Structure 1
Amino acid sequence: MNRTNKVPYELLYIIGIIAISFSSIFVRWSNADVAVIAMYRLYLTNLLMLPLVWRYRREWMGLSARHWGILALSGIMLGLHFLLWMASLRLTTVASSTVILTLEPVFVMIGSFLLFRTKVNRMMLAGISIAMVGSIVIGSSDFQLSGDALVGDVLSMLGALAVAVHMMFGKHLRKDMSAFVYNFSVFFFAATSLAVYNAAKGNPFVGYDASEWGNFLLLAIVPTLFGHYLFNWLLKYMNTAAVSMSVLGEPVIASVLAWVLLKESLTAYQLGAGLFILFGVWLFIRHGKE
């Protein structure tokens, strides 16, 4: 990457962090079931991407049955992530939920070590330990506030675990396919798995007012296309570790947005434990090896 390209990529990186930080705000603004919110967020993202599908028709036709199987599994795990994490936002604060979600790269490395024997150095272990301690502190302090807040923390952690599995599938698949084909396919499988869940649960698919559809669309455009998809695109031009650092920016910006837009306050425990987690995850990513 030459020097003239550095500023635009860095600006896009900042835009991506701000975009994903709005996700929790839009979810809290909606009154629909979280599974419905997640389903339409992804289906509408697919709809926005639809005009470019024909351009990738040959790549799709060349995918094997094994590729489709892993894409489906990756999509199901992404759908589970959205279901769990969005549910956590109904029970705990934006600050607690988003900061616990930053454990994703830690879970990815643990899975990589268990499955592929990826090397883990002492500094990475130190980062994992610090981040986990911070999570325990947040959980214990939230339990003092209410049992529901603790349940929300657990749901956020399970959501981080689900998206870590999704990312591991994605890292394997992205060796053989473009970012567009991977994202469109995974979004579709995730949305469809959520549609099955909604049908089984009896959630209505229609009858939502204009403000709800506006929230669904905002989630598709802002945090999904300008956030997650943008980061996947930037992986081609920026260091993977640098892109991974975006997880540290989301809870900071999301907490500020929640304070301004949702009137949420930060307790001393949440602030201290959140900084502890962020430091641990930063230490982990900083000393991680590809």
Structure 2
Amino acid sequence: MPSTRLQALLVLVASAAVLGLAPILVRLADTGPAAAGFWRFAFALPLLLALVSRPGQAADERGPGRPSMLIALAALFFVLDLSFWHYSIAFTSVANATTLTNLTPVVVTAVAWLAFRERPKALFLVALAVALAGAWTMSAGADGRQGPNPRLGDLFAAVTALWYAGYFLTVKVLRGRVSAGRIMLWSTALGAPLLLGVSLALGEPLAPASAAGWLACAGLGVVHVAGQGGVAWSLGRLPAALAAVTVLIQPVVAAVLGWLLFAETMTGAQLAGAAALLAGVVLAQMSALKKKGAEAEAAAPVS
């Protein structure tokens, strides 16, 4: 069991690092932001189909199966997630766009509080305040060198957290009866034409103008399968709180690559805001972990 847990943790770390490449590839794709999302899905589809069709799986999980209305809803959330996030990458720095989307765990806990009456502990409320203060500081601290419109890009990145939270909660419901591979396959297959429609409606350049652009689009497909797929696989073997904290490697990788490749810098205020936001997310996960521990202790039989 310990070796299996270690293996899952190593896969999760590697997957989070791979996902850190996504905003860099979006910048290099040489297409419109939504079009980059379409090509990400298009290149990922053959790989996902091969994964769900591979031998060695249980008979009821082999093959693509059929989509449901709930999977269609997950696809819609995923399309909104990528559309807003890719546009945030176009308007603000890679570091801001990637870090602000990590408000998702806080959003998920807040939705669970409001929708499912899962009242959070006081520590979560502190975490929420810290994370939101960090997000505001990151946006307010921009000096204009982080992109053509940092404030709008930061807003898009923050809204992305809402859409990804919707996707996360929908997939959580689905996972009780549908494999991760089928969810990824159908959410990608249903989302691809939607992203194509968004790109065409906004008049974006659809096809990359260079071989390097095509390679970046193909790379996005690989990142989609290896990064998202690896995280989904690891979630079946690790506590969700541990996984949510571990994937914070993603914005660190993205920020370093943005600095190396695009000479993007962050002001002192933005660095402080990023640290506060990530600290808030960690505190939120600690709150969730303590709550589960308390519930388990209360439910334990008295000897």
Whether these two folds match at TM > 0.5 is yes
Report the counterpart of residue 210 of structure 2 in structure 1: 209
Amino acid at match of 1:21: G
- 2:194 matches 1:188: no
1:262 and 1:112 mapped to 2: Cα distance?
A: 38
2:93 and 2:53 mapped to 1: Cα distance?
A: 42
Identity over aligned residues, as a percent? 26
Residues 91, 148 of structure 2: 8 Å contact kept:
no
- 2:34 matches 1:39: no
Report the counterpart of residue 81 of structure 1 in structure 2: 81
2:65 and 2:31 mapped to 1: Cα distance?
A: 38
- 2:237 matches 1:272: no
Amino acid at match of 1:34: P
Matches of residues 1-290 of structure 1 in structure 2 within 5 Å? 2-54=1-53, 58=60, 68-142=68-142, 148-203=149-204, 205-206=206-207, 208-222=209-223, 224-288=224-288, 289=291
C-alpha deviations, 1:239-274, integer Å up to 9, x for none?
A: 111111134221112111111122111210110110
Residues 131, 276 of structure 1: 8 Å contact kept:
yes
1:72 and 1:156 mapped to 2: Cα distance?
A: 23
More displaced, 40-49 or 191-200?
191-200
Structure 2 gaps of 5+ residues are 293-303
Amino acid at match of 1:263: A
Residues 134, 276 of structure 1: 8 Å contact kept:
yes
Report the counterpart of residue 295 of structure 2 in structure 1: none
Residues 15, 226 of structure 1: 8 Å contact kept:
no
Q: Closer, same or farther in 2 for the Cα pair 1:4/1:139, shift >3 Å?
A: closer
Shift of 1:142: 2.3
C-alpha deviations, 1:156-202, integer Å up to 9, x for none?
A: 01111111111111111111111111111111122221122233334
1:52 and 1:16 mapped to 2: Cα distance?
A: 17
C-alpha deviations, 1:33-56, integer Å up to 9, x for none?
A: 011100110121111122244468
Shift of 1:206: 4.3
Shift of 1:30: 2.2
**Aligned-partner SS, 1:183:** helix
Q: Closer, same or farther in 2 for the Cα pair 1:157/1:235, shift >3 Å?
A: same
Residues 101, 159 of structure 1: 8 Å contact kept:
yes
With normalisation by structure 2, the TM-score equals 0.87
Residues 85, 156 of structure 2: 8 Å contact kept:
yes
2:203 and 2:143 mapped to 1: Cα distance?
A: 31
* RMSD, aligned CA: 2.2
Q: Closer, same or farther in 2 for the Cα pair 1:271/1:204, shift >3 Å?
A: closer
**Aligned-partner SS, 2:236:** coil
Q: Closer, same or farther in 2 for the Cα pair 1:153/1:114, shift >3 Å?
A: same
Aligned residues: 285
1:87 and 1:205 mapped to 2: Cα distance?
A: 15
Shift of 1:12: 1.2
C-alpha deviations, 1:98-146, integer Å up to 9, x for none?
A: 1111101111111122211122110011101100011111222227768
1:190 and 1:155 mapped to 2: Cα distance?
A: 19
More displaced, 8-17 or 170-179?
8-17
More displaced, 277-286 or 11-20?
11-20
1:49 and 1:248 mapped to 2: Cα distance?
A: 25
Give 1 or 2: higher helix fraction: 1
Amino acid at match of 1:164: A
Residues 32, 206 of structure 2: 8 Å contact kept:
no
Amino acid at match of 2:43: L
2:167 and 2:260 mapped to 1: Cα distance?
A: 32
Amino acid at match of 1:124: F
**Aligned-partner SS, 1:89:** helix
2:24 and 2:217 mapped to 1: Cα distance?
A: 12
